[in-house]
Amino acid sequence: MTLTYIALLAVAIVAAGPFLWMTITAFKSGQNIYDPSIKISQLTVANFVGVWEFLNIPAYLGNTVVITVGSIVIDVVLASLCAYPLACMRFPGRDVIMVLLIAAMIIPAAAGMVINYLTLSTLHLLNTLVGVILPGSLKVFSIVLLRQAYLGVPRDLIEAARIDGASELLIWRKIMMPSIMPAISTVVIFDFIGRWNEFLWPIIVLQDPAKYPLAAALQYLNGSFNYKFGYIAAGTVISIVPVLIIFIIFQKNYINAVAGAVKA
């Protein structure tokens, strides 16, 4: 066990090394970024202040929150509704639908960008946050994951609710959703990370840089301050902190869901 923990600690240090180096660099001012030494007296928040003033971070954070939260709500609601009949109802073609859904996961997201762009253009949703949110919000992975979680709910609960006269929608809302919260937490984490760090699609849809999410704005910062890597590091740290907070909040449910999926 001692050797195992030592090995895991070494892997953790290697994995967290780049983030720690970037965080330290964000607090340095005018020093060699490749110098690993840390002097408390030389640490400063000037890089964070400069990025905050130059990029209008609150506006970009607001855009990112709207895009991320909107995508998560759509994915959780629609994916859970789609997964419920696939797990708890019997109807012709159910297995075929599952096969098609799993096969659709093979298709890369970039393959649908042209079609999505033309569709948004027809709907006059270009250069809007709605146009960024709608394509790709409902994910096949979420449907498959939640279906597997539904299968773990005892059938007796569902049958008892039906005997008592509960509708399928009431069963889904009152019984099934509370029973699969670990899986929903997993969906929230994956969606949050994916949407919060999304870069290419917002740049394609949005022509106004003021509507960019934070990830796209940081790339703009990279082009403006190539000679000030401390600004880039500070902006990256600002963008990563919310992801870490969300993961810490949902990590228990996330680990339980992943462990259950591996066991299944």
| CA–CA gap between residue 89 and residue 168 (Å, rounded) | 10
What pTM was estimated for this model as a whole? Answer: 0.82
Q: With pLDDT > 70 as the criterion, what percentage of the chain qualifies? A: 88
pLDDT value, residue 253: 66
Does the pLDDT at position 260 exceed 60? Answer: no
Q: Which residues contact 105 (CB under 8 A, 6 or more apart)?
A: 140, 141, 144
pLDDT tier for residue 34 given thresholds of 50, 70 and 90: low
| CA–CA gap between residue 216 and residue 211 (Å, rounded) | 10
| CA–CA gap between residue 198 and residue 201 (Å, rounded) | 7
Query: How is the chain split into domains, by residue range?
Result: 59-262
Q: With pLDDT > 90 as the criterion, what percentage of the chain qualifies? A: 31
Does the pLDDT at position 263 exceed 50? Answer: no
Full DSSP string of 213-233: -HHHHHHHHHHH-TT-HHHHH
Neighbour tally for 102: CB within 10 Å: 13
Instruction: Give the angle 141-217-22 at the CA atoms, nearest 5°.
Output: 85
Q: What is the mean pLDDT of the chain?
A: 85
Neighbour tally for 141: CB within 10 Å: 16
pLDDT tier for residue 43 given thresholds of 50, 70 and 90: confident
Between 110 and 157, residue with greater pLDDT? 157
State whether residue 210 is helix, strand or coil.
helix
Between 24 and 67, residue with greater pLDDT? 67
Give me the count of residues in the chain.
Answer: 264
pLDDT value, residue 262: 46
Q: Which stretch of 51-65, 92-106, 111-125, 241-255 has the lowest confidence by average pLDDT?
A: 241-255
pLDDT value, residue 44: 83
| CA–CA gap between residue 137 and residue 187 (Å, rounded) | 11
Does the pLDDT at position 48 exceed 70? Answer: yes
| CA–CA gap between residue 15 and residue 245 (Å, rounded) | 18
Buried b (16+ CB within 10 A) or exposed e, 238-255: bbeebeeebeeebeebbe
Does the pLDDT at position 127 exceed 90? Answer: yes
**What is 59-262's CATH number?**
1.10.3720.10
pLDDT tier for residue 264 given thresholds of 50, 70 and 90: very low
C-alpha separations of 206 from 58, 68, 200, 236 in Å? 18, 16, 10, 21
Does the pLDDT at position 81 exceed 60? Answer: yes
**Residue appearing with tokens 């990370």:** 193
| CA–CA gap between residue 248 and residue 258 (Å, rounded) | 15
Most confident of 81-85, 87-91, 164-168, 257-261: 81-85
